[in-house]
Structure 1
Amino acid sequence: MAALKGNVLLITIDQWRADCLGVLGHPAVVTPNLDRLAAEGAVFTQHYAQSAPCGPSRASLHTGLYAMTHRSILNGTPLDDRFTNIAREARSLGFDPVLFGYTDTSPDPRILEADDPRLLSYEGLLPGYRAVLDMPEAAAPWHEWLSEQGYDVVEGESMQRPVDDSVASPAVYRAEHSEAAFLTGEVLRYLDEIEDEPFFIHATYIRPHPPFVAPAPYNTLVDPADVPMPVGLGTVAEEGAVSPILADALRADWIRAPESEEEIRQMRATYYGMLAEVDAQVGRLLDALRERPDWAQTLVIITADHGEELGDHHLTGKLGFYDASYRIPCIIRDPRTEADSARGQLVNEFTENIDLMPTILEWLGAAVPSQCSGASLLSLVRGVTPDEWRDCVFWEWDFRDPVGRYPERRLGIPFDKSGMAVIRDAAGKYVHFAGMPALFFDLSTDPDGLVNRIDDPAYALTVLGYAQRMLTWRLEHAERTLTGYLICPLGAVDRRAN
């Protein structure tokens, strides 16, 4: 096998909003370590996840496929084992791709026995990775480590909790003992063990995913008075009138944002503090890598699985059709000299998480599988915009419920019509529901998406154009593994191989 061509560090920061980078001028966010990496690479300012929540979005990131193709559309929907992914491709190149954290990959039940314990949780391992640290949301390894550090850890009780009920109460653990600190320590231990061997590492930091609790001093790092307030319509009722799915979501206490300005400001300040704590640990990891001789051969990509509404449109979490749930940061540091002239740039082209698998493979000198709908970002990282680059992005959100049958019970929507797709460009956003009325927002005059123009006659032709583009997108990116083949007297001819 040929010599491996460099190292790869792929980091995801869970539930990280696109605006939350100091280098982008956020008035309250403190991210000096991510900002330093941005200066060494490229920041993609219009980068989008393809789905929510964690499992579906990560399936797209790892396979280079839209959700309409991989169809792992819920936390718990199996990912078809026939698809390759970045870990499998890296392994085929001779790497030992290792995971620290989680991928939330639900296994294909058709290749497992009915009593296989992996069928009891959606928090499975993406095929191809070897989990050095398998740490899903319950975080059992972290809790075990905390116990070794002298904390009173009660079985079944999360340590991601505040000391008390006071405003901005710190977490019960010290900052040096956070989940992020523990995970970073395990990555550093692994790097020490492998010494100068090539590596392919995927590290997943769960914070700032809720619950919103930060250890001292990060719990008071950001003054609530300094945070920007959310965007949205004046009342929950006005927001709910935009769409039936939004109205129903806003009835849920665990989705609806706090009503008082004080609570909203504190929620945002705590979130920013949590992100600052993760930034410190990512910086700890990057600083250690900078001391290694192979830093000059290490590709670093940092992004998120999805965003966080954080009070926008009276919502929290990740759902629906608003940008805050899908627009996410992306930083790529290409160590090679071809990227030198473009270091520190802000890339404003539309990019997607499905582009990351092709980017990594091109950087490694490997072929990109025909299944992939994404395109490599390597030219953009190096300051060159490819011809005919995309002028819009797409994402999907599925809200079917195989067990509780929520759409049927609450919305009167059939199971297979419980989904939506979005096309968004610089001027507008079209939202198509299978079982509810569509939406259209004129972003050129309404950048926060407050007014639904779908029934405005003046927008009829505009809406038609977006709907036609969405149909073209679906036709172009439908499952394509065998569509390039032709069985003929010449044998099985693969057009995509030529």
Structure 2
Amino acid sequence: MVARRNILFIVIDQWRADALGCAGNPVLKTPNLDRLAADGVLCRRHFVQAAPCGPSRAALLTGTYQHNNGVMRNGTPLARRFTNIALECRKAGYDPALFGYTDTTADPTGLPPDDPALRTYESVMTGFAPELHLPELPYPWMADLKAKGYAFADDVTEIYRPAAPAGDRGPTFPPARFKAEDSITAFLTDRLLDFISVRRNGSWFAHAAYIRPHPPFIAPEPYNALYDPADMAPPRRAATAEREGAQHPLLASYLRSQNLASYFVTGQGLVADLSDADLAQLRATYYGMVQEVDDQVGRLLDRLKEWGLYDDTLIVVTSDHGELLGDHWMLGKQGYFDEAYNVPLIVRDPRAAADGARGTKIERFTEAVDVMPTVLDWLGLDIPRQCDGRSLLPLLHGMAPADWRREVHWEFDFRGLGAADSEVALGLPMDSCSLAVIRDERFKYVHFAALPPLFFDLAADPHCLNDLSRDPAAAPAMLAYAQKMLSWRIVSSGRELTGMHVSSKGLHVRP
């Protein structure tokens, strides 16, 4: 009898690395994710390769850097030539099931102009079987709410309108109109458990993409009131928004344009003008939203154990990007700051080979592009040459590869998608609206295609408030990091066919 090998791959949207109890957060309670980390490993220096959702998930699910996959913004097509984690796992007989979304924009090549796929950036990535597709308008959940007697227009904005007016604790404190047991988080978990319940005797692959704690910042009772805003840490930022914006033209453009209406339904004015009290409550609400997801993950873990599946299942929990939460006077995931790219990664390999590393907190740098190679390696499948990452199995099994990376990289594209974007504001051509980051333990270098660079000494300035790019004393170190970034781009350029050679003897493929 062949041993069952299941894969539960969870992506929690907009979840920053420090929003986790086992990562050292002194306030936030995430007991279920903490117990999973205690039985697996927590990668503390894990970074995604792009933002926002579409570009980041393209990198995560194809194992490729942004400069290779070409997905620059939400709505940028992913070329058909790329394989992905679902297509590769199908080679082993899996039918990867999607619960949630992949935010994939279809390749328009060969599609007629009126094809519905050309009207959304939320198509399902090829290879996934959409058991429960929950795009921006999550129709299955909306139908479930209406069947339960909730009355609202067919508009997600109406669903997230609070049940009561803002009071003394600010606009993000009032609870949602739906009960916690009827939330989109609980709805997805219910459907996922239904799926697993009738597949207990076979092998399955389930990809669960939870939308929360992505905005709007609103939580159902009791999660809206679990945390006291007085317990929230103050934001990491300059004394004023004006001083923050002086760091770089791109940052200044965001501080002039970020609108609160993008983050909660009743928002008015600019993010930079949010009062300290309202920001503290927003942070408290965000913590409540995270704890709601943690509770649902707990349901999954408990049921897997009850059904005897826990020790047959590789569990991967991560995020597509972080959330600034008022740091640097911003919300969301724009720009180059760590808070938008450093996210949790928890992996539990159920096999005995991982027993010696259980409960480990890995301090080596890991990247989102490592997830696909890890899953394929765990299944004994070949890792496609397109992949820019590498398998984490050695780290999960307590090994310390001497050649492991010593830095991480990410990219961000800020070409225009509307009046509030920076392409017009900065007077740049579309293809020059990009940046790339290299970051290690000591320094962080940010290179812009058509704007001044940034350079930070992380030992002295861990929150990147003091740019050293114009300091002559920092010039030698900055040059060294610019050269390392250039080497990274050369080595990581698209390589699908570069290891092949054709001669009179035929095709030779280097291993």
The normalised TM-score by structure 2 is: 0.95
Q: Does 1:465 align with 2:476?
A: no
Aligned to 2:130: 131
The alpha carbon displacement at 1:333 in A equals: 0.4
Q: Secondary structure at the match of 1:347?
A: strand
Change (3 A) 1:262 1:379: same
Aligned partner of 2:468 among 432, 438, 453: 453
Q: Does 1:486 align with 2:491?
A: no
Q: Does 1:172 align with 2:163?
A: no
CA distance in 2, matches of 1:449, 1:153: 44
Q: How does 1:11-50 map to 2 (within 5 A)?
A: 11-50=10-49
Q: Secondary structure at the match of 1:237?
A: helix
8 A contact 2:96–2:127 mirrored in 1: yes
CA distance in 2, matches of 1:338, 1:3: 18
8 A contact 2:301–2:310 mirrored in 1: no
Q: Secondary structure at the match of 1:109?
A: coil
CA distance in 2, matches of 1:284, 1:77: 36
Q: Secondary structure at the match of 1:321?
A: coil
Q: Secondary structure at the match of 1:158?
A: helix
Aligned to 2:103: 104
Q: Does 1:69 align with 2:74?
A: no
Aligned partner of 1:412 among 424, 427, 433: 427
Aligned to 1:316: 331
CA distance in 2, matches of 1:362, 1:5: 16
8 A contact 1:17–1:306 mirrored in 2: yes
- Note the residue ranges of structure 2 that are not aligned, 5 or more in a row: 261-270
Aligned to 1:292: 307
Q: Secondary structure at the match of 1:115?
A: coil
Aligned partner of 1:425 among 440, 453, 463: 440
Q: How does 1:242-253 map to 2 (within 5 A)?
A: 242-253=247-258
Q: Secondary structure at the match of 2:242?
A: helix
CA distance in 1, matches of 2:468, 2:233: 27
The alpha carbon displacement at 1:191 in A equals: 1.0
Q: Does 1:187 align with 2:197?
A: no
8 A contact 1:79–1:107 mirrored in 2: yes
CA distance in 2, matches of 1:317, 1:423: 21
- Note the residue ranges of structure 1 that are not aligned, 5 or more in a row: none
CA distance in 1, matches of 2:273, 2:460: 28
8 A contact 2:258–2:330 mirrored in 1: no
Q: Deviations over 1:269-322 (max 9, x none)?
A: 000000001110111111111112232110000000000000000000001010
CA distance in 2, matches of 1:469, 1:410: 31
Change (3 A) 1:404 1:227: closer
CA distance in 2, matches of 1:394, 1:265: 31
The alpha carbon displacement at 1:32 in A equals: 0.7
CA distance in 2, matches of 1:116, 1:193: 35
The alpha carbon displacement at 1:370 in A equals: 0.6
Aligned to 2:161: 161
Change (3 A) 1:406 1:210: closer
Greater Cα offset, 126-135 or 17-26: 17-26
Aligned to 1:282: 297
Q: How does 1:374-413 map to 2 (within 5 A)?
A: 374-401=389-416, 406-413=421-428
Q: Secondary structure at the match of 2:257?
A: coil
8 A contact 2:416–2:424 mirrored in 1: no
The normalised TM-score by structure 1 is: 0.97
Q: Secondary structure at the match of 2:46?
A: strand
- How well do the aligned residues superpose, as a CA RMSD in angstroms? 1.4
8 A contact 1:4–1:93 mirrored in 2: no
Greater Cα offset, 255-264 or 446-455: 255-264
CA distance in 2, matches of 1:201, 1:14: 16
Change (3 A) 1:202 1:253: same
Change (3 A) 1:266 1:408: closer
8 A contact 1:257–1:264 mirrored in 2: no
CA distance in 2, matches of 1:441, 1:3: 52
Change (3 A) 1:173 1:375: same
Aligned to 1:205: 210
The alpha carbon displacement at 1:131 in A equals: 0.1
Change (3 A) 1:28 1:403: closer
Q: Does 1:327 align with 2:326?
A: no
CA distance in 2, matches of 1:113, 1:405: 31
Change (3 A) 1:111 1:381: farther
Q: How does 1:303-382 map to 2 (within 5 A)?
A: 303-382=318-397
Q: Does 1:270 align with 2:285?
A: yes
CA distance in 2, matches of 1:110, 1:405: 29
Aligned to 1:92: 91
CA distance in 1, matches of 2:202, 2:130: 18
8 A contact 1:257–1:310 mirrored in 2: no
Aligned to 1:241: 246
Aligned to 2:121: 122
Greater Cα offset, 150-159 or 179-188: 150-159
Q: Deviations over 1:438-458 (max 9, x none)?
A: 000110111111000001000
Percentage of matched positions with identical amino acids? 49
Greater Cα offset, 347-356 or 192-201: 192-201
Instruction: Show structure 1 runs of 4+ deviating over 3 A.
Output: 2-5, 402-408
